[in-house]
Amino acid sequence: MAAADIPSFTLNDGTKIPSIGMGCWMGGLGGGERVYDMCSTALKCGYRHFDTASGYANEEHVGRAIRDSGLPREEIYLTTKLGNNDHHRVKEAFEESLKKLGVSYIDLYLLHWPQGFINGKVLSPEEHPTFIETYQEMEKLLQTGQVKTIGVSNFSIKNLELLLPHCSVIPATNQVEMHPCLPQNELKAYCQAKGILMTAYSPLGRSTTFMEDITIEGVAEKNKCTKAQVLLSWAVQRGTIVIPKSEDKGRMLSNITLVTLSKLDRAIIDELHEMPNMHKSLLVFDDKGDGTVFGWTYEQLGWKMEVGGRVPTD
């Protein structure tokens, strides 16, 4: 089982991370044998980076696929995340993840969301434990040697500005929704200046908008590749990690085969979000229609979006 030939990025602690990983959110909680089969096939296709979370309720299946592959643990890069319900019990939740994954260490542990919940009730940004206190508990985990690197997810500039002055370890990555409709240019520049590498989740926009888009189609035809390869190559060429999810072997293989896009092609994709009604989230986080995402408003999250996920033009 050979590893795919894809570039790695170096994080701010000197560790390396493969630029493409397999996303393990199955579109719903759990996934059982589907997750096991997906990860086992991915390993055979050359994937060596997996992105799961305690909140996906499938860590045990990801871990079992990794163990059953027989590959040395050090050849695999494994990310999991601290769930929103666990901000007040970081050490215990981390140990539960380790146990479910069945590994002796985790490469990257992320604070999944800035907002925590206790007994099903969301905490306001000021309530204990704040994301600063939670992240500080995650920093302590580094001393155990059971986690190599820590980072955050779904953090805006506003919340990073609050967090960073209190960090003794700068997050290595910030994992956010990122694709041509939401290139996150401002956040990306901010993170770059702070030494934080961005990870793009839903880099294919969950296979909705882009699969019908004539701009992406044009670039794909020109480069004799798939639309997904255009999206992933664009993302990696702009220096971001991508974690596309696929259960299909053919799509897995093409997703891990990057093409080199010209400067012009990249510029065309860079401009896509400037077209009418194209600068937006492609997820349905606020499907309750009240503009909240897991209990926090866009303002509390620091996301410059309107209800529905559209980014207003200045």
Ligand X SMILES: NC(=O)c1ccc[n+]([C@@H]2O[C@H](COP(=O)([O-])OP(=O)(O)OC[C@H]3O[C@@H](n4cnc5c(N)ncnc54)[C@H](OP(=O)(O)O)[C@@H]3O)[C@@H](O)[C@H]2O)c1
Site residues, ligand X (CB under 6 A): 23-25, 51, 112, 153-154, 175, 201-207, 211, 226, 228, 243-248, 251, 254-255
Toward ligand X, which CB reaches closer, 179 or 279? 179
Catalytic site includes residue 56 = yes
Q: Is 273 annotated as a binding residue?
A: no
Residue at token pair 């499938």: 58
Toward ligand X, which CB reaches closer, 39 or 90? 39
Tell the smallest beta-carbon distance from residue 301 to ligand X (Å). Answer: 12
Toward ligand X, which CB reaches closer, 72 or 184? 184
Tell the smallest beta-carbon distance from residue 100 to ligand X (Å). Answer: 16
Give CA torsion, residues 11, 14, 17, 19, to 10 deg. Answer: 50
Tell the smallest beta-carbon distance from residue 271 to ligand X (Å). Answer: 21
List CB contacts of 126: < 8 A, sequence separation 6 or more.
none
Tell the smallest beta-carbon distance from residue 314 to ligand X (Å). Answer: 26
Tell the smallest beta-carbon distance from residue 4 to ligand X (Å). Answer: 15
Q: Which residue is nearest to ligand X (CB)?
A: 23
Among candidate residues 36, 47, 56, 77, the one labeled active-site is 56
CB-neighbour burial class of residue 234 (10 A; exposed 0-12, middle 13-18, buried 19+): buried
In 3D space, the residue among 11, 39, 14 whose CA is nearest the CA of residue 25 turns out to be 39
Angstrom distance (rounded) from CA 209 to CA 227: 11
- Rama region for 157: left / alpha / beta (φ>0; ψ in -120 to 50; rest): alpha
Angstrom distance (rounded) from CA 295 to CA 308: 15
Toward ligand X, which CB reaches closer, 34 or 313? 34
Toward ligand X, which CB reaches closer, 90 or 256? 256
Q: Is the dihedral of CA 211, 213, 217, 219 positive or negative?
A: negative
Angstrom distance (rounded) from CA 267 to CA 295: 36
Q: Provide the 8-state DSSP code for 274.
A: G
Which residues are annotated as part of the binding site? 112
Binding residues for substrate: 112
Catalytically active residues, by annotation: 56
